[in-house]
Amino acid sequence: MAPLLVANIEVVQFFRAWLETFAGYVREVDYASARPLFHADVLAFGTHNDVIPGLDQWVSTQWDNVWPKTTDFRFVIEQTSVLASPDGAMATVIAPFTSTGYHPDGSPFPRPGRATMVFSRNADGWLCVHSHMSLNRGVPQASHANRSVKAW
Q: List residues bridging with 44 in a β-sheet.
A: 52, 131
Domain-embedded: residue 79: yes
Q: What is the domain count for the chain?
A: 1
Domain-embedded: residue 107: yes
Domain-embedded: residue 29: yes
Q: Single out the residue of 71, 78, 59, 132 nearest to residue 100, CA to CA.
A: 71
pLDDT band at 50 (very low <50, low <70, confident <90, very high): confident
Using one digit for the tens of pLDDT, what is the confidence trace for 56-86? 999 998 999 999 999 999 999 999 999 999 9
Its domain, for residue 17, covers: 9-135
Q: For position 86, which CATH number holds?
A: 3.10.450.50
Using one digit for the tens of pLDDT, what is the confidence trace for 30-41? 999 999 999 999
